[in-house]
A and B are shown apart, each in its own frame.
Chain A
Amino acid sequence: MKIVTILKQVPDAEARVRASGGTLDLSGATLVIDGMDEYGVEEALRIRERGMETEIVALACGPERAAEAIRTALAMGVDRAVHVVSDVTLDAVAMARVLAGVVQDEAPELVFVGGKQADWDSSALGPALAEALGWPHADWTTELTFEDGTITVTHDIDDGTETLTLPLPAVVTTQQGLNEPRYPTLPNIMKAKRKTLEARPLADVAAAAGAPADRATELRASEIEARSRRNVVLDGDAKTAATELVRRLRDEAKVL
């Protein structure tokens, strides 16, 4: 069994994100491995710990600094990693094309991708990667089990949940509920420093994959748009405040 887990380094959820002149400014923001990706790393580790001989490879595409996020995954227990070093901020479709080349070379049975990346606010990477590989995918997975050559997953759909069976190889996108990701221990952090982290330039990987080393869409501007709110606090006891709220929602905001 071989599993590839895709990683992305993103600003911490509490980090302050700034923009000026239409350009994003992440200086000063703490950057971490995307929380959604950790569920994939953890699930891969658990599959191995249940006794299936498994090689786990982390794969990331991002700038030099993304290596820190990859080290986190190595410290959690991933065996080795491939870092496609890119100064271009790719979009999901472009990144899927590039990563598909690496995944094809690695030839795993299973690829884990975070359900939604906290920088793009996009859930497209998993499905786009699956399509580029010609594999099936399951997204928003909360449960996963193996039976020879297939996996059974439970995942969220619009009106509830659904249980799917997929032939392998397949792409599975992960989210909370799947497991509780572990924290790297100090000995494992030390051990991770000796693990292989192979850096490859985007241009080379893209050329080998026959994919453009550029975005599929053009990012023209990034801005912080604050929506103005009334910010009215209603005073009085619960009954008075509640009555006044319902009155205002009906007469002032006209939403009831």
Chain B
Amino acid sequence: MILIVIDHADGAPRKSAYELVSLGRALTGDDGSLTALVAGDAPGAVAQEIARFVPRVLTVSAPELAPPRAETMTRAVAHAATTLGAEAVLVGASRFGLSYSPRVAMRLGAPLLEDVTALERDGDGYVAKRLSYLARVTETVAASAPTVVVSVKPGAAAAADPAASAGEVTELEVPFEPDDVRVGVASRRAATKGRVALEDADVVVAGGRGFGSAETFDDLVVGLADALGAGVGSTRAVVDAGWRPYGEQIGQTGKTVAPRLYLALAVSGAVQHLSGMNRSKVIVAVNKDADAPIFRVADYGIVGDVLEVVPALQEAVAGLD
């Protein structure tokens, strides 16, 4: 039995949830045993949506999960995995997934296959691909134990189509303990209000310091992103300069993305940045330095000043049907 944990926000599954469904179907041979876990303070709507894709959906409904914390999710996921006797627990490798899944593995005494880009059965266990050494190396890692915990990198699988018939939704009681809520959430601040989340974006427009100021960055990078319905990304230098929030940083210390299209504007392509985006399907680079390393990983490049090229791009995009 394979358990997939559904990452959700604002009453809807995240894109990664549909990717886990695909992966889970492939691993179970679509034999009807795939089970999804939806945990939250009001998981009903998300569970109904996921039941269109998965034969069995478990909901955990608890005030302890609002907002979700690493330890409350660990309790819910570990309890579900133990109760069901899951052979594998698949979690989306969002920041939150990466935060609680190691705890789940430790609590279950299970090996952890972390941030994998591919996952297959291998005898009694599983074999995965994952990146290491700032995404310069691809590792093949295997694990077998009664239970294996896997965090799956966004984009590792295609999003699933709905199943022929809807699955069954049942509720699971989880015995939370006082320590599960010892971490207090004082406040939360959304950084990407109104714009598509970076990890969920099909298109990412990222900019570097070459824009000269926060205002120009807003006009050109954010302007182009909004015209394309894209997520906004930044280099470390940009967030260090305070032009953009840390949450938009792409790279080793920031986020990893693998969108359909990645536009790197005035991004030189330091290895730390490349490690966060070099799995994108198509990469475009605009840089005035023809020798910038970013051109080596680019499908299309324009050697030129972003202050001239990006307005021209905005115009060309506006001309699309």
Is B240 an interface position by the 8 A CB rule? yes
- In the assembled complex, the Cα of A256 lies from the Cα of B114 at a distance in Å of 32
Is B12 an interface position by the 8 A CB rule? no
* Partner among A116, A163, A223, A229 whose Cβ is within 8 Å of the Cβ of B297: A229
Are A238 and B102 in contact, CB atoms less than 8 angstroms apart?
Answer: no
Residue interface bits B135-149, CB-to-A below 8 A is 1, else 0 = 111111111000000
Residue interface bits A134-163, CB-to-B below 8 A is 1, else 0 = 101111101000000000100011111111
Are A159 and B191 in contact, CB atoms less than 8 angstroms apart?
Answer: yes
Q: For residue B132, which residues in chain A have a CB less than 8 angstroms away from its CB?
A: 119-122, 222
Q: For residue B283, which residues in chain A have a CB less than 8 angstroms away from its CB?
A: 229
- In the assembled complex, the Cα of A117 lies from the Cα of B182 at a distance in Å of 27
* Partner among B96, B179, B187, B282 whose Cβ is within 8 Å of the Cβ of A255: B282
* Partner among B103, B139, B203 whose Cβ is within 8 Å of the Cβ of A127: B103
Residue interface bits B159-199, CB-to-A below 8 A is 1, else 0 = 00000000000000000000100111111111110000101
Chain A residue with the shortest CB-CB distance to B290: A233
Are A159 and B140 in contact, CB atoms less than 8 angstroms apart?
Answer: no
A interface residue count range (under 10 / 10 to 19 / 20 to 34 / 35 or more): 35 or more
- In the assembled complex, the Cα of A19 lies from the Cα of B198 at a distance in Å of 32
Interface-facing stretch out of A75-83, A104-112, A198-206, A245-253: A245-253
Question: Which residues 82-112 of B have a CB within 8 angstroms of A?
Answer: 94-96, 98-103, 105-107, 110-112
Are A161 and B186 in contact, CB atoms less than 8 angstroms apart?
Answer: no
Is B215 an interface position by the 8 A CB rule? no
- In the assembled complex, the Cα of A46 lies from the Cα of B36 at a distance in Å of 45
Chain A residue with the shortest CB-CB distance to B125: A218
* Partner among A121, A136, A250 whose Cβ is within 8 Å of the Cβ of B275: A121
The count of chain B contact residues (Cβ–Cβ below 8 Å) is 95
Interface-facing stretch out of A10-18, A62-70, A188-196: A10-18
Are A158 and B199 in contact, CB atoms less than 8 angstroms apart?
Answer: yes
Is B30 an interface position by the 8 A CB rule? no
Interface-facing stretch out of B43-51, B53-61, B309-317: B309-317
Q: For residue B157, which residues in chain A have a CB less than 8 angstroms away from its CB?
A: none
* Partner among A136, A159, A162, A163 whose Cβ is within 8 Å of the Cβ of B9: A159
Are A165 and B186 in contact, CB atoms less than 8 angstroms apart?
Answer: yes
Chain A residue with the shortest CB-CB distance to B151: A124
Chain A residue with the shortest CB-CB distance to B100: A127
Q: Is the interface of B mostly helix, strand, loop or mixed?
A: mixed
Instruction: Indicate whether A115 sits within 8 Å of B246 (C-beta atoms), given known contacts A13-B134, A121-B134, A249-B284.
Output: no
Instruction: Indicate whether A245 sits within 8 Å of B316 (C-beta atoms), given known contacts A119-B132, A121-B134, A167-B182.
Output: yes
Q: For residue A131, which residues in chain B have a CB less than 8 angstroms away from its CB?
A: 74, 102-103, 106-107
* Partner among B70, B137, B253, B260 whose Cβ is within 8 Å of the Cβ of A17: B137
Question: Which residues 293-309 of B have a CB within 8 angstroms of A?
Answer: 295-305, 308-309
Q: For residue A121, which residues in chain B have a CB less than 8 angstroms away from its CB?
A: 115, 130-135, 275
Are A241 and B302 in contact, CB atoms less than 8 angstroms apart?
Answer: yes
Are B134 and A246 in contact, CB atoms less than 8 angstroms apart?
Answer: no
Instruction: Indicate whether A161 sits within 8 Å of B143 (C-beta atoms), given known contacts A223-B138, A232-B299.
Output: no
Is B1 an interface position by the 8 A CB rule? no
Q: For residue B246, which residues in chain A have a CB less than 8 angstroms away from its CB?
A: 142, 156, 161, 176-177
Instruction: Indicate whether A176 sits within 8 Å of B236 (C-beta atoms), given known contacts A122-B114, A130-B103.
Output: yes
Chain B residue with the shortest CB-CB distance to A19: B137
Q: For residue B282, which residues in chain A have a CB less than 8 angstroms away from its CB?
A: 249, 253, 255
Q: For residue B135, which residues in chain A have a CB less than 8 angstroms away from its CB?
A: 121
- In the assembled complex, the Cα of A24 lies from the Cα of B187 at a distance in Å of 44
Instruction: Indicate whether A118 sits within 8 Å of B301 (C-beta atoms), given known contacts A124-B102, A128-B105, A161-B247.
Output: no
Is A102 an interface position by the 8 A CB rule? no
Is A239 an interface position by the 8 A CB rule? yes
Instruction: Indicate whether A238 sits within 8 Å of B189 (C-beta atoms), given known contacts A219-B141, A253-B282.
Output: no
Q: For residue B189, which residues in chain A have a CB less than 8 angstroms away from its CB?
A: 160-162
Q: For residue A246, which residues in chain B have a CB less than 8 angstroms away from its CB?
A: 313, 316-317, 319-320
Closest CB pairs A-B (n = 8): A242-B312, A160-B191, A124-B102, A131-B106, A128-B102, A216-B111, A131-B103, A230-B299
Q: Could you write out 14 A-B pairs with CB less than 8 Å apart?
A: A121-B131, A124-B114, A136-B71, A137-B103, A157-B188, A166-B183, A176-B240, A176-B253, A217-B143, A225-B138, A243-B316, A249-B300, A255-B281, A256-B228
B residues near A (Cβ < 8 Å) are 9, 67, 70-71, 74, 94-96, 98-103, 105-107, 110-115, 127, 130-143, 179, 182-192, 197, 199, 203, 228, 236, 239-240, 245-247, 252-253, 260-261, 270-272, 275, 278-279, 281-284, 295-305, 308-309, 311-313, 315-317, 319-320
